[in-house]
Amino acid sequence: MSKYRHLFFDLDHTLWDFEKNSIATMRILYDEVGLMDKGVAEFDHFNVVYHEINDRLWDRFRRGILSREDLRWKRMFQTLVHYRIPDEKLAKVMSERYLEILPTQTHIFPHCIEVMEYCAGKNYAMHLITNGFELTQKQKLKNALLDTYFDKIITSEQAMSMKPQKEIFEFALRETGASVEQSLMIGDALDIDVLGAQSVGMDQVYFNPKQIAHEGNPTFEIESLHEMYNIV
C-alpha cells in the first residue's frame, strides 16, 4: 500500500485522448460544414493548421490575455482566415458544433479503464483537476464511461483559478478534505500539472507517453498508464 489516499488526475491528454478525439471531431466538422466545397482541399492540412492556432490561443487563454468566449470562436475564425474565408458567422457555427461533437468522442489512453478499476479496487479516493470547461468535461467522462470513478471533479471554473496556479490545488485539497502528504497528482503537462502540484508540495506523476525530453523533476514519470501499478 502506498502512502497516498487521494489521487488527482488530469483529464485531457492524460486519461482522455484529446488529440485523437479532436482530430475525429474536426473530421466530422470538415464534412458537416462543407469545407472542401469552400476551397479547403485537404483535411489533414486543415487539421494541422487548426491545431497550431488552437495551441497558440490556448496558451494566451491560460495566461489570462484571451477570454474563454474569444478562444472558442477565434480559433475557428483564424483557421478560416488562413484559407481566405473570413466568415465570422461560419466560425461561430463551427465553434458551437466543435464543442457539441468533441465530448461525444470516446478515445481514451491504453490501460485507462484497467488502471481506474485497480485504483478503485484499492479504495483510493479519485478526483479530477482540470482546466477544461466544466460541462464539456462531464460529458466526456460520461461518454467515455469514466464518470463513475471520480468523487470530485475540480474545474478551473469552480476554483476560479487554473493549473499551474496553486489556488486550484488548495481548492482541490479543501473540497476533498485531502492532506497534501496523502495526495498525488497525475498529469501530462510538466508546466501545468507537475509544476502546479509542486507549488503546494504535492507529489506528482508525469505522464509522458511521447517520451519528451525535459529538465523537470517530477516525483515519478511514466510512459504508459499501466506503470501506475508500480506507484499506487
Comparing every residue's Cβ against Mg ion, the nearest one is 13
- Kindly identify the residues of this chain, within the stretch 166-195, that bind Mg ion according to CB under 5 A: 188
The DSSP code sequence of 121-134 is HTT-EEEEEE-S-H
CB of 192 to Mg ion, least distance (A): 7
Ramachandran angles phi, psi of 16, nearest 5°: -95, 125
CB of 188 to Mg ion, least distance (A): 4
Question: Rule CB under 5 A: is residue 203 a binding residue for Mg ion?
Answer: no
Question: Rule CB under 5 A: is residue 17 a binding residue for Mg ion?
Answer: no
Q: How many CB atoms lie within 10 A of CB 187?
A: 28
Strand-pair category, 152-155 with 183-187: unpaired
Q: Which three cell numbers stand for residue 25?
A: 471531431
CB of 130 to Mg ion, least distance (A): 8
CB of 13 to Mg ion, least distance (A): 4
- Pick the closer one to Mg ion by CB: 46 or 206: 206
CB of 90 to Mg ion, least distance (A): 29
Figure out which of the listed residues 4, 10, 33, 185 binds Mg ion, where binding follows CB under 5 A.
Answer: 10
- Pick the closer one to Mg ion by CB: 74 or 163: 163
- Pick the closer one to Mg ion by CB: 11 or 91: 11
- Pick the closer one to Mg ion by CB: 12 or 17: 12
Q: Applying CB under 5 A, which part among 7-15, 168-176, 202-210, 218-226 lies near Mg ion?
A: 7-15
- Pick the closer one to Mg ion by CB: 72 or 164: 164
Q: CB-based burial of residue 138 (10 Å sphere; 0-12 exposed, 13-18 middle, 19+ buried)? A: middle
Figure out which of the listed residues 5, 13, 51, 142 binds Mg ion, where binding follows CB under 5 A.
Answer: 13
What is the rounded CA–CA span in Å between residue 51 and residue 81?
14
Question: Rule CB under 5 A: is residue 12 a binding residue for Mg ion?
Answer: yes
Q: Is 84 left (phi over 0), alpha (psi -120 to 50) or beta?
A: left
**144 DSSP 8-state letter:** T
Close Cβ partners of 153 (under 8 Å, ≥ 6 residues apart)? 127, 128, 130, 134, 137, 138, 141
Q: Which residues bind Mg ion (CB under 5 A)?
A: 10, 12-13, 188
